[in-house]
Amino acid sequence: MNKRSFFSFILVIAVFAGCSQEQESPTKVGNIASIDSLIQDAVDKEHIPGAVIRLQQGDSVLHFKAYGFAQKYRYGMEELKNPEPMQVEHLFDLASLTKVFATTFGIMVLNDRGQLSLNDPVSDYLEGFKRESRQEITIRHLLTHSSGLPQWFPLYYLASNKEERLEAISGMPLEWKVGKGRHYSDLGFMILGDVIERVSGQTLDEFLQQEFYGMLNLSKTVFNPLDKGFSKIAATSHGNPFEKRMVYDDDFGYRVDVDPESWDGWREYTLKGEVNDGNSWYANGGVAGHAGLFSTAEELQVMINLLLHEGRHRGEQVISKAVIDTFLTKDRFGNGLGWAMDKGFIAAEGTPEGTFGHTGFTGTNVVVIPEENLSIIFLTNRQNSGLQKNGTYFNLKTLRQQIITAVMNSTDSTKMRNDD
């Protein structure tokens, strides 16, 4: 059976059989049972406390299920007596999915309205970028991670608010020549968030809510969810142990030129509803272009559908097809604008050309396969299981690829059916 026949088979069965959104028995359709097994095994082995997966093709939800727990451990890695079960309605700290589901969409909206051009110099909007070394940086350079800005820096050592943070980034020397290579940069997407604020005259979260999320009727896609009364949120890390080690240990991640002891505002409690990323929380008040957004799998699906439906939502043209095509066309680095199309980066080997997605450090990722009108949203709270012995969180890349392989695998129909 070829791949297209495989997806057609799943679609027909899913329509009649329905899809699991419950904790009990998994839907036994195609390779869905093997996906269930992969995720449940990771939960059972305590690699991740819990997860939500949503698999959709066209308008048919093929699988939508929660696993494990939204919080299993409290600060100090003490296991809760009554851990909170994960539900599909839980909000997740999206981490770097903020880059695409917030900032990239924000730039798309402004570009579509003619309020900015992708080739505009950033210095047209931000005074600090008029310095000679960075006058060449454009909006496009930031979207393609080719601005030459540093990839990461603990900006909270220099700043306690976004104005001080912008000044700090504006004064940093570039680490690479502008446009000469792709170097994934959190700082670049913070600057894109600043551009959105300068052009719109609103804060990033206000602009997105009024000009994008509200138009899609999204009520659970927010920054700082605790301030908005949300409580059903998956817990993440116990403080910021990984990031603290990045600062203190020059052999762990990035080398940063700061005195580690000169700042000591580290959180000492389990994070639940506060963004995990230190730069977003400590230096940006939880609202930043690189991290800070929370959402559910169901609401992420609405935004993915917008891309798959050529910018239309319920008959309304929210973003033009031309802008979407521009952002989802591979650049010379093999990625789109904001969106990643490098299959190794998004763990989507074996998918057709045109596949795109993104990952988030907290354990979130999406993969979208336009050729099949198919999307896979896989959200975990891996950090709540704590650090491994090597000082890192459980690496999800293999599991993500296994899920994609299970989805894409085209075998004969007798092998696709699973016994109850």
In angstroms, rounded to a whole number, what is the distance separating the alpha carbons of residues 328 and 320?
Answer: 13
Whether 5 has a pLDDT exceeding 70, the answer reads: no
What is the model's pLDDT at position 132? Answer: 80
Q: What is the mean pLDDT of residues 143-163?
A: 97
What is the model's pLDDT at position 133? Answer: 82
Share of the chain above pLDDT 70, in %: 90
Whether 40 has a pLDDT exceeding 90, the answer reads: yes
> In the block, which residue shows the tokens 């095994």?
41
Whether 7 has a pLDDT exceeding 80, the answer reads: no
Residue 18 banded pLDDT, cuts 50, 70, 90: very low
Model confidence pLDDT, tens digit, residues 320-329: 999 999 999 9
Residue 338 banded pLDDT, cuts 50, 70, 90: very high
Whether 416 has a pLDDT exceeding 80, the answer reads: no
What is the model's pLDDT at position 413? Answer: 29
In angstroms, rounded to a whole number, what is the distance separating the alpha carbons of residues 81 and 210?
Answer: 41
Average pLDDT, the chain: 91
Whether 216 has a pLDDT exceeding 60, the answer reads: yes
Whether 254 has a pLDDT exceeding 90, the answer reads: no
Whether 26 has a pLDDT exceeding 60, the answer reads: no
Backbone angle region of 68, left / alpha / beta, with phi > 0 → left and psi within -120 to 50 → alpha: left
Model confidence pLDDT, tens digit, residues 89-135: 999 999 999 999 999 999 999 999 999 999 999 999 999 999 888 99
Pair 336, 330: CB distance under 8 Å: yes
When mean pLDDT is compared across 3-17, 24-38, 164-178, 212-226, the lowest value belongs to: 3-17
Whether 27 has a pLDDT exceeding 90, the answer reads: no
| Torsion sign over Cα 253, 103, 166, 122 | positive
What is this structure's pTM?
0.91
Whether 278 has a pLDDT exceeding 80, the answer reads: yes
Whether 257 has a pLDDT exceeding 60, the answer reads: yes
